[in-house]
Copies of this chain bind each other. A is one copy, B any other.
Amino acid sequence: MRILLTNDDGIYAPGLRALRHELKKFGSVEVVAPATEQSAAGHSVTLTTPLIVQEVQDEEGKKMGWAVEGRPADCVKLALRELLGYQPDLIVSGLNAGSNAGINVLYSGTVAAAIEGAFYRITSIACSLEYTKAFPLDFSRGASLSAKVISQILEKKPTPGSLFNVNIPSLEKGQVRGIKTAPQNIAVYEETFARRVDPRGRTYYWLGADFGCPDPHPDTDTSALAEGFITVTPLQFNLTDHDKLKDLSGWHWP
């Protein structure tokens, strides 16, 4: 099995290293990841500037893959179109430092990289590890749990292009309570901006950390994760609102 590994925290991020270690048990792993952190990059891609690419070695001096001075989705596109020279059997994105659940799925570069893989009809899995202030991120354990979930997904022989979003709860909550499949929550997060004046007299705003989701609908990814479950959410990238589309067809459009 040939696996493409990417992320949005950058190729030197510890979460990627930990997940690579686990994925090598499944087959060969090549990494194409951003040269620098790209958190909240969403599904942005680079059109007007070049993507500088450099080979990167692992801790043992062996070729690990390529660092790309671009976005997570750029990495996947470039890997599939140019760098790998073959179509991988699986694309994994992560392990992200911080969960990607609810509407954060849309802001996430980690998930966008997986969506880009699904565009090309390759099964793609985004993996994220919940962060809580009081508890250090244990990437090693998070990657081990991610690999277990990936293994279970692969056992079911998903159709090519299947897309999954996996979140691992913070271990602050104690032992993982199990795995739950759940839909994406859609409520907006509470957020605040700090308003300040810069040394040149210009006003600026700076987004604070989100304060959690005031409306974690029961039986969604955000609520299951909060309860200490690993969450698995199958995703798709057709944003059409099919119900509303049916309503519209009844409208008279002159």
Contact = CB atoms under 8 A, between A and B. Distances in A.
Contact of A40 (B37, B45, B107): B45
Contacts of A82: 193, 195, 205
A249 B181 contact: yes
A133 to B, nearest CB: 16
Interface stretch (A84-92, A167-175, A237-245): A237-245
A206 B50 contact: yes
A103 B124 CA distance: 17
Give the secondary structure class of A's interface.
mixed
Copies per assembly:
2
Interface stretch (A16-24, A56-64, A136-144, A184-192): A184-192
Interface residues of A, number: 77
Given A52-B198, A81-B193, A163-B241, 9 more contacts: A41-B44, A106-B115, A106-B237, A181-B245, A183-B242, A184-B240, A232-B248, A233-B240, A234-B245
